């Protein structure tokens, strides 16, 4: 019986081909945890509507920040490179493709543009705004035909009225929401969304291309805490406003304001049904508006029905905790 030293000596050293095969095989055997996480990220994107709202409105919370799920791709890609995992690299193609199909159109440059009849702007100016004069100057520089402002205090209302008086001869205000227009306002009214004070209004603006119904709204706030995503009061205001917009008789409708929710949030469906997002149709990028210093969600919207958005964008910070949104439309 050969001793151990003789047996070891009789073994042939591995060739380069054998070593290469072993390394390639190990790349397919390691990194399965990363691969599983990649598949879960893709499933989260594909089936986010299946996440229930029964506990803490988790479904709506996921809807609100859905584009950020895509951050899993570069993070997991770094981990896959570190592990030199082939299976993880292949698995990462799945969330990358799904995310691209869902949101890639927002990154296409050159969307929108062309002739327009009306430029509209909406901005939550922030009740705690330390410099409303600066905000007013920034908004005037946008040269919009119609301005819609939300969360205006009584003191700041005087500032905005004085600043806009020369450029905007027509003004409608109801408590904390207001509209300024370069074109005549035929009629206006408060819109009841279930509060003790007015948080929405409707105005008929007579543009050179025809009348449009302009709604300005500030829906109830939401909270994220230990109990989850609290949005019941906001959802009630959505339903109330949605019913009135659904009954609108004018063909051209523009709905602007702080909805405290993104277009992906399923809870906004009673309001957004039948409306078209100006940003989604003619804007470039995600159009995040809040918080102003590092925007993570688009909760300020311009939505339309019966008019065609040609261009949409988000302005820089004005000193408010939100950023203004602007759109150009053909009536």
Answer whether residue 279 is part of any domain: yes
- Is 112 a member of any domain? no
Whether residues 82 and 212 share a domain: the answer is no
Our count of domains for the chain comes to 2
Q: Are residues 172 and 224 in the same domain?
A: yes
User: How many C-beta atoms surround the C-beta of residue 165 within 10 A?
Assistant: 11
**pLDDT 10s per residue in the chain (331 long)?**
555 555 555 555 665 555 555 555 565 668 899 999 999 999 999 999 999 877 767 888 898 899 999 999 999 999 999 989 999 999 999 999 999 999 988 887 766 678 999 999 999 999 999 999 999 999 999 999 999 999 999 999 999 999 999 999 999 999 999 999 999 998 899 888 877 668 899 999 999 999 999 999 998 876 665 555 566 677 788 888 999 999 999 999 999 999 988 988 888 889 999 999 999 878 888 999 999 999 999 999 999 999 999 999 999 999 999 999 999 999 9
Residue 113 counted as domain residue: no
* Confidence (pLDDT) at 20: 53
Same domain, 157 and 195: yes
In a domain, 250, yes or no: yes
pLDDT of residue 14: 60
Cβ–Cβ under 8 Å, residues 210 and 188: no
Q: Do 122 and 50 belong together in one domain?
A: no
Query: Which stretches of 175-270 are assigned E, i.e. beta strand?
Result: 177-181, 185-190, 200-207, 210-218, 223-225, 228-230, 253-258
Identify the pLDDT of residue 113: 75
Shared-domain flag, residues 98 and 128: no
Indicate whether 93 and 129 sit together in one domain: no
User: Which tokens hold the place of 213?
Assistant: 């119904």
Q: Which of 131, 109, 163 is nearest to 284 (CA)?
A: 109
How would you label 213-245 residue by residue, b for 16+ Cβ within 10 Å and e otherwise?
bbbbbbbbebeeeeeebebebbbebbebbbebb
Inside any domain, residue 208: yes
Q: For residue 107, what pLDDT is reported? A: 84
Distance CA 291, CA 300 (A): 11
> Does one domain contain both 209 and 326?
yes
Q: Are residues 172 and 281 part of one domain?
A: yes
Domain ends where: 107, 126, 155? 107
Same domain, 125 and 224: yes
- Identify the domain boundary among 71, 87, 107: 107
Q: Which residues constitute the domain of residue 30?
A: 4-107
Res 4: pLDDT: 56
* Residue 217 near residue 243 (C-beta atoms within 8 A): no
Residues 128 and 254 in one domain: yes
Same domain, 103 and 122: no
For residues 131 and 93, membership in a common domain is answered with: no
Contacts of 60 (CB under 8 A, 6+ apart): 53, 229, 231, 261, 265, 266, 267
Of the candidates 283, 282, 294, 284, which has an alpha carbon nearest to the alpha carbon of residue 323? 294
Domain end, chosen from 82, 107, 132, is at 107
């Amino acid at each position: 019986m050969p001793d151990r030293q003789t047996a070891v000596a009789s073994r042939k050293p591995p060739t380069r081909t054998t070593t290469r095969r072993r390394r390639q095989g190990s790349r397919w055997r390691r990194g399965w945890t990363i691969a599983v996480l990649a598949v879960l990220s893709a499933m989260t994107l594909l089936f986010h509507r299946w996440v229930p709202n029964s506990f803490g409105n988790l479904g709506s919370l996921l809807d609100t920040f859905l584009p950020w799920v895509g951050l899993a791709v570069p993070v997991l890609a770094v981990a896959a490179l570190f592990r030199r995992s082939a299976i993880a690299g292949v698995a990462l193609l799945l969330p990358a493709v799904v995310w691209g199909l869902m949101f890639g159109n927002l990154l296409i440059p050159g969307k929108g543009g062309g002739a327009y009849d009306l430029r509209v702007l909406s901005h939550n100016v922030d009740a705690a705004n330390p410099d409303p004069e600066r905000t007013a100057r920034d908004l005037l520089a946008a040269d919009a035909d119609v301005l819609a402002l939300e969360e205006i205090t009584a003191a700041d209302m005087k500032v905005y009225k004085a600043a806009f008086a020369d450029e905007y001869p027509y003004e409608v205000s109801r408590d904390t929401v207001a509209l300024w227009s370069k074109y005549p306002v035929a009629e206006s009214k408060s819109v009841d969304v279930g509060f003790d004070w007015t948080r929405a209004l409707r105005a008929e603006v007579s543009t050179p291309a025809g009348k449009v119904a302009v709604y300005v709204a500030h829906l109830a706030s939401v909270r994220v805490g230990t109990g989850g995503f609290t949005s019941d009061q906001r959802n009630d205001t959505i339903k109330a406003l949605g019913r009135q917009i659904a009954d609108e008789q004018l063909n051209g409708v523009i709905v602007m304001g702080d909805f405290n929710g993104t277009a992906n949030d399923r809870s906004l469906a009673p309001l957004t049904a039948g409306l078209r997002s100006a940003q989604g149709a003619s804007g470039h990028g995600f159009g995040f508006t809040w918080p102003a210093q590092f925007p993570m969600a688009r909760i300020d919207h311009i939505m339309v029905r019966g008019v065609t958005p040609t261009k949409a964008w988000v302005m820089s910070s004005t000193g408010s905790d939100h950023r203004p949104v602007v759109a150009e439309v053909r009536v």
